[in-house]
Each structure stands twice: as C-alpha cells, then as structure tokens.
Amino acid sequence: MSQTIVAQVLSTGLIRGISYRCHRRITPVDHSRVDETEVTGEIAHIHQALHAEVAALDALLGQTLSDTERQLVEADRLMLKDDELVQDMCHHVELHHCNAASAIERVLSPMVDEISAIEDANLCKRGVELAQLKQRLIQHALGHRCPLPTRLDDKQVLVVDYLSPAEFLRYPEIAGLVVSQATYQDHLAILARGMQIPLMVVTPEELGPLPHHQEILLDGEQGTVTINPSRVQSEAFEVRFEQWQERQQAIEADALSPATDADGNEFSIGANVSTLAELPQVARYGCREIGLLRTELLFMDRLTLPNAQEQYQTYRTIAEAIAPHPMTIRLFDFGADKMLEEMPDEANPALGHRGIRLGLEQPQLLLPQLKAIARLSQEFDIKMLVPMVNQVEELHQLSELYQQAAADLPPGEHTRQPKLGVMVETPAAVMNIDAMAPLLDFISIGTNDLTQYLYAADRNDPTLSKWYRPVSPAMIRALAYCCSRAKAHGLNITLCGEMASDPKALPLLLAMGIDGLSLAPTQRPLIKSVLARLNINQCQQLLNRALKTQTTRELGSILNSL
C-alpha cells in the first residue's frame, strides 16, 4: 500500500531507490553511581569519546564545505580540544562516581540550556548543534556500534533514526537518506549537501513503521517521502525527475560560461579549496581559477608538516588540474582555531601567534613552503597570498625569506616570481594599504576575520553572534575605504569569506570595484545568476545609500529593496 509523508528537506534532490531500514534508538543515560574501581575506566571512556568525535570532525574537514560550514565544524573541534572542558568531565566522574556518559551530560546540558534560553535565532541554532554534539559524545562513551550495513550502493536509501557524520561517510555512493533526528545546520546535513545526496527528516512516529527493502521516492522539491508508490505516483515522479535532471544539467552547463554583469563586464569567481577531494567540483561549477588554497588544511591530518618536496608535489597536483588558469596559494595560516600540535597554549589564540606572524617567528615552518612555491612558480601561474599581515615591515622580512628559499633553485631556473598579495583581515591592514601597495600585485579581503577584528567579536563564540555582522555599516565603510585605496594604486582586488557568497552583498562589492570573488565552487551558479542581473550604475546608487546608513537594520532594508 502506498504511503506519502511530508518531510523536512535538508539536502535537496529527487531519487528513486530501495529502502534499507535500520532500527536504532538513543539509549537513556544511566546516572547511577559506579564503583571506585571503575572510575579510571570511565575517565578513559571520556577521552575515547572525545577522540572519536574529533576524528569524525577531522573527516568532515576533508570534505567540500562552505566557509560557514567549515567554521561550524572547526568551532566544535576547538571546543572538544579545550582542556578545561575535558578536566570538568573527568572531575565529575571522580567527584560523583558517575559513568562517562553521565559526566558528559552533566557538563554539557547546562551549556545547552543556557545558550538555548537566549532569545537570538543564531544562538538557538547553536544550542541545537551543541545538543547534538552532546548526544554524539554520549553515544561514543556508551560504546554504541551502529547496526548498519557494511556497504550501500546508489540504488539504496538508508532509513534510520539517526546517523553520525562519520557513519554517513561510509556510504559515498548512497542514493539518499531518511532520518528522524537532524537539523539544517548539523554536520550530517552539511555533508549531505556537500555530497549532493538527498536528506529528508520525518517524525519518529512516521519513521517507525517504514519498511525494509521497498521502493521509495524522495522528492526534495515537493518535500515528500513515498513508500510503495502507485503507478500514477511513479509516473508523475518520473516526469518531475526528468525535468529536475534537465534543470541541473542546464545549471552546470551555464556554470561553465564566464560570469558577467548586466553590462557585459566579466567578473572573476574563483574557488576556495582545502583538500584534493574538492578539485572535481572546481571544474564542474565553472571556476576557472583557485582563488584561495588553504594550505594549512591540506596537511591538518599529518603529525608533522611535509617537507618542501612533498609540498611541491601536492601543490603541483592542484596546479595541473586547473592549468593554464592561476592558483592563489595562501601561506600557512596556523593559529586561532587551526593549531599545530607543537604550538603553545595561548590565553587568546585569535590575537596571538598566527598567520605570517607565526611564520616569521618560526621560519622553519615557512621556508619549506616558500621553496615549494618558488619552484612551482617556474612552471605555473602562481599567486602567493600572505595571511594576517598588519604592517609593511612583515613584507620586508618575508621578501628576505623568499629570496633565501629561491636561492635553492638550480642556476638559471629562478626566472619567475609569484605575484604577491596580502590578506586584508585586520583594521591595521586596511589602514596600511598605502604603505604596502608598492610591494604588492593584489589584495584579497578576508571578510570573516576582518569582521571579527573590526567588531572585537570572536566568530567562534556563539554568544557573540549578534555582534558579528559582516554586512553592517561599519564593515561596508571599511571595505569601501580599502577598495578605494587599493584602486588608487592599481591593485587587483578579490574578496573571500562568507560575504563572497552572499547575494545581497554582491551589488555593494561590484560598486566598490572588487575584481573577483573566491568561494565554495557550489556557490558559483547562484552568485553568477545574481551578477547577470546587476548593472554598475544601479549598484553605485545602492552603495551611496548604504554608506549613509547608521544601523544594520537600515542597511538591510536598503539591500532588500533591490
């Protein structure tokens, strides 16, 4: 008998498959006391649970993620590496003689309740995300093993109460997923969207009776899950499926054409790349160049940094994939939420040793990378991007290091240097554009960190999210000033960060004279379609109005009017 359920769509798409039903329930936490002899073992379970979840988050960071999604994962990872949090959990075991799962719940539940009680939409989402993180840790601590199949193919739709991100990664060929526990911003949904696998959420009551090994239709456009479709339902779905495929093919075909505004001016949209696994999407969505290669994330899974030869081979693989188009290599941006094991703990990592500051203080980290870049530049169109620059003296020191690195090239091979650019991420960098410009070929504005430092609001602290506003009057004025000074010196301007994929910000960026954006490849079709409807005169008028606004709400009203 046919059954259709209205579902919440977390990752869209249309799929016809066969259901694979797994039954699993979340086990309630037992808060009874454990014996003194069991305390050491329960503390070990806490460390094992944290290690398992960090490993799952590291696997997530190896996938194609947007800037917001990557920040979400990194925030969770940073939290789990917090020594005070770990000590608090272990202390609960010792003090209350409770098991590991109970200690995790005792420590994290008050945090969830506190954040969820704040009347702010972003904080409410973070409360849900933290609750899910708590639940995953509890399941790790209880040693639960999922009664899941070893493999699922592209005809099978997994129907299960809940699924962790690490479990989901076991099934790269899966056709679709139906669960009763997931939200749009959790890691499972992030992964599903990145892998373009349909993910639907139904209530536990609706999920319960769904059968195993039956025909199932997932319709992400209509938001429905249909089991055992009738002939009429099946034929109607087939028509919608063919139409959906045609639209997808049209989007991908159009993505390969240049991005232009309504006046016909071409606009560069490059790709942010963090892993080799993301390269196929760069070409698929028409990104002609890599606008930001996050080199520190390429090697985060290693215990030690690779030597110059290993880095050269990795960078060369990427350069070959996008040649003859340029690749912008950002120097290692360790620090803040991207820490090396050997880096010391700091009271405030975001204001500590990070970016080029760390590289100049520890040249043994930077020299192998500069050697690899110098060698690669002789073969490919390479741009070198320097993170967290604040003053011109840092560029002078970097130049000396680069010349030292290039001296290792064989005689006669040091004929080309990479184009040099800086990340504009701090107020100091904005104010020092004039001083740095003679040494530069381009600038890349990193809006995520620039917003953070402009407002002195930690972007990884959910309680400060209402103060972290990339599209705001102060930020727009800072960007306008930065662009005007860069243009006065003839510098090419690109912009990366979350603002690069915000359609509402695009007209302002176009009016400021920004030459290109760098974003997650999957965001290019949307930005390209918005760009095609904008003309420069219209955008300039909007920017003039935006620069006169006094509040974020006033600015939002102007942008919504376009």
Is 408 annotated to bind ligand?
no
Is 524 annotated to bind ligand?
no
Residue 161 has pLDDT above 90, yes or no: no
Active site residue 31: no
The reply to whether CATH 1.10.274.10 applies to domain 38-142 is yes
Are 157 and 216 a contacting pair, CB within 8 Å?
Answer: yes
As annotated, the residues of the chain forming the CATH 3.20.20.60 domain(s) are 266-537
Which residue reads 């650019």 in tokens?
421
Q: What number is the average pLDDT over the span 35-50?
A: 91
What is the pLDDT at residue 338? 46
Provide Rg for the chain, Cα atoms: 25
**pLDDT tens digits along 324-370:** 999 999 999 876 444 455 555 555 565 666 789 888 988 998 999 99
DSSP string, 394-435: HHHHHHHHHHHHHTTSPTT------EEEEEE-SHHHHHTHHH
Q: How far is CA 278 from CA 83, 368, 492, in A?
A: 33, 24, 26
Cα distance between residue 254 and residue 530, in whole Å:
13
3-state DSSP assignment of residue 143: coil
What is the pLDDT at residue 517? 96
Of residues 125 and 483, more confidence is placed in: 483
| Interacting residues of 214 by C-beta distance below 8 A, sequence separation 6+ | 18, 19, 227, 228
Cα distance between residue 350 and residue 336, in whole Å:
4
Is 537 annotated to bind ligand?
no
| Interacting residues of 151 by C-beta distance below 8 A, sequence separation 6+ | 170, 171
**Choosing from 90, 98, 482, 496, which is the catalytic residue?**
496
What is the pLDDT at residue 345? 58
**Residue 347, phi then psi, degrees to nearest 5:** -65, -35
Torsion of the alpha carbons at 352, 357, 358 and 359, rounded to the nearest 10:
170
The reply to whether CATH 3.30.2450.30 applies to domain 266-537 is no
Is 448 annotated to bind ligand?
yes
As annotated, the residues of the chain forming the CATH 1.10.274.10 domain(s) are 38-142
Residue 120 has pLDDT above 60, yes or no: no
**pLDDT tens digits along 489-520:** 999 999 998 789 888 899 999 999 999 999 98
What is the pLDDT at residue 301? 58
As annotated, the residues of the chain forming the CATH 3.50.30.10 domain(s) are 3-23+147-248
- Picking from 48, 63, 47, the residue whose alpha carbon sits closest to that of residue 301 is 63
What's the whole-number average pLDDT of the chain?
Answer: 86
Q: How confident is the model at residue 529 (pLDDT cuts 50, 70, 90)?
A: confident
Are 241 and 217 a contacting pair, CB within 8 Å?
Answer: no
Are 49 and 104 a contacting pair, CB within 8 Å?
Answer: yes
Is 459 annotated to bind ligand?
yes
The residue type at 488 = A
**Choosing from 92, 140, 187, 353, which is the catalytic residue?**
187
Torsion sign over Cα 451, 453, 459, 461: negative
Is 425 annotated to bind ligand?
yes
**pLDDT tens digits along 303-323:** 678 899 999 999 999 999 999
Lowest mean per-residue pLDDT among 92-101, 170-179, 337-346, 529-538: 337-346
Structure tokens at 177: 């997923």
What is the pLDDT at residue 63? 67
Residue 540's DSSP bridge partners are: none
Cα distance between residue 383 and residue 130, in whole Å:
39
3-state DSSP assignment of residue 386: strand
What is the pLDDT at residue 399? 95
What is the pLDDT at residue 339? 46
Are 89 and 45 a contacting pair, CB within 8 Å?
Answer: no
Q: Which helix (H) or strand (E) holds 444?
A: strand 442-446
The reply to whether CATH 2.130.10.10 applies to domain 3-23+147-248 is no
3-state DSSP assignment of residue 299: coil
What is the pLDDT at residue 469? 76
Ramachandran region of residue 386, left (φ > 0), alpha (ψ -120 to 50) or beta?
beta
Active site residue 496: yes
